[in-house]
Amino acid sequence: MSCKNCGIIPASDSYFRDVTVYADIVRVLDEMVKDGKLETTYMTCPFDRIFSDKNGNIAFYAKKMLHQVRCKECGKIYGLFCDVEVGVGQIKENDKVFNPDDYNKKD
Ligand SMILES: [Zn+2]
């Protein structure tokens, strides 16, 4: 069953290499967050800073970006990942909220 609220998010296990696909997904998620349909659970930078901000700083030049959102209706979590260096991106369902500490464990 597809959720009426978040079902339009094109989650998939496949990767895309077209930056316009990434830009479209960014725009959709940004609008849904602003409309109160999604809440962000993790982001490497604000959506509106990915491609430009007032000072001309473009976060897209960061090597890797992750934006994770949660549907306020059904609780599904989606992660939008982009590796600019490699030139791939992906949006898919995540089973839990991203915690950077999971990837920075010492010892
Ligand atoms: Zn949903």
Question: Is residue 2 domain-resident?
Answer: no
CA 43 to ligand 1 centroid distance, Å = 19
Total domains in the fold of the chain: 1
Residue 45 lies in a domain: yes
The answer to whether position 3 is within a domain reads no
- Of all residues in the chain, the percent with pLDDT exceeding 70 is 92
Q: Which pTM does this prediction carry?
A: 0.88
Residue 6 has pLDDT above 90, yes or no: yes
pLDDT the model gives residue 101: 82
Has residue 61 been placed in a domain? yes
Ligand 1 centre to CA of 92 (Å) is 13
Residue 102 — pLDDT band, cuts 50, 70, 90? confident
Q: Which domain holds residue 45?
A: 19-97
DSSP string across 2-59: --TTTTTS---SS-B--HHHHHHHHHHHHHHHHTTSEEEEEESS-GGGSS--TT---G
11 Cα: distance to centroid of ligand 1 (angstroms): 12
- 32 lies in a domain? yes
Does residue 10 lie within any of the structural domains? no
The kind and range of the H/E element at 83 are: strand 77-83
Over residues 9-22, the mean pLDDT reads 95
**What's CA 101's distance to the chain center, in Å?**
18
Q: What does the pLDDT read at residue 106?
A: 57
Look at residue 81 and tell me whether its pLDDT is greater than 90.
Answer: yes
